Structure 1
Amino acid sequence: MELEDEARTTSAIGELRPRLHPEPVVYAIVAPGFDTSTALATVREREGLTVVVEQVEAEEDGLVYEFVGAWITLAVVSALDAVGLTSSISTALAAEQIACNVVAGFHHDHLVVPWDRRHDALRILDALG
């Protein structure tokens, strides 16, 4: 079973094909009733609803944020039960002092890295492949 997991992870890493979203994104907490239809991601926590939205949208809506990031979608279709993919990616980015937040969708993983390090992150992800 371990060999099968390792093979799946190795295959996925070789097919990452990272795609950069063209606009900077931010994390913000929104009030109940906020229109989330354009959010790239939402996470419901006890403290409130977090949205990941384009920075321009956050500013238009008067949202408070601190971190400006780059949204990178990994084009590889990754299994939700795959072992080691996130670890391999985060280890490679951490070696270059690049913070990374991972959001898993049904089909793809998405990374949020500091906007000013987006090109470095893409270079590292391309090298992994």
Structure 2
Amino acid sequence: MAGERDLQKLLGGMNPELNPGRYVYCTFPGRVPAGLRPVVTVAEAEGVTAVVAQDEADALGLTYAYVAAWITLRIHSALEAVGLTAAVSGRLAEEGISCNVVAGYHHDHLFVHADDATRALTALQSLAHA
């Protein structure tokens, strides 16, 4: 099934959903340790970044500096869609909320500071109904 490309349909149907738990950004010099279950990984020249559940990171004694809430935009957006990331991050910026965006094949995922989760969800819901 092809993802949606129309920005107005994407915004109106994004249906932001707050996933349970808190998530943290960890970095590793080579690869993700065996047994770790990240929800996102990014390979960079400096090392691998992994976003993992805070409970898991704590249980494994991992260090991290950023504690986030994970919001999923439930609409199936096309990877080539134009404007969704800008509209969403712009709306959150208006509220003074930082946002780290990751595009999956089916959905876009936002990681916002854990303390801002409720405000972010409210801002996104207002954007969807604008």
Tell me the CA shift for residue 38 of structure 1: 2.1
- TM-score normalized with structure 1 length: 0.90
Tell me the CA shift for residue 84 of structure 1: 0.5
- TM-score normalized with structure 2 length: 0.89
Counterpart-to-counterpart distance in 2, 1:63 and 1:106: 28
User: Alignment identity in percent?
Assistant: 46
More helix by share: 1
The verdict on how the C-alpha distance between 1:32 and 1:15 changes in structure 2, with shifts beyond 3 A counting, is: same
- Paired residue for 1:26, among 24, 27, 33? 24
Please say if 1:101 is aligned against 2:100.
yes
The verdict on how the C-alpha distance between 1:69 and 1:11 changes in structure 2, with shifts beyond 3 A counting, is: same
Tell me the CA shift for residue 37 of structure 1: 5.7
Secondary structure of the equivalent of 1:63? coil
The aligned length equals 123
Amino acid at match of 1:121: A
| Structure 1 runs not aligned, ≥5 long | 1-6
Worse-superposed segment, 36-45 or 111-120: 36-45
| Structure 2 runs not aligned, ≥5 long | none
The C-alpha deviation readout for 1:50-108, integer Å capped at 9, x for no partner, is: 10001111111111100100011110000111110000001100001000000000110
Please say if 1:16 is aligned against 2:14.
yes
Counterpart-to-counterpart distance in 2, 1:36 and 1:51: 13
- Contact kept, 8 Å, 1:104 with 1:110, in 2: the verdict is yes
Tell me the CA shift for residue 32 of structure 1: 3.1
Aligned twin of 1:3: none
Q: Which runs of 4+ in 1 moved over 3 A?
A: none
Aligned twin of 2:69: 70
RMSD: 1.4
- Contact kept, 8 Å, 1:36 with 1:51, in 2: the verdict is no
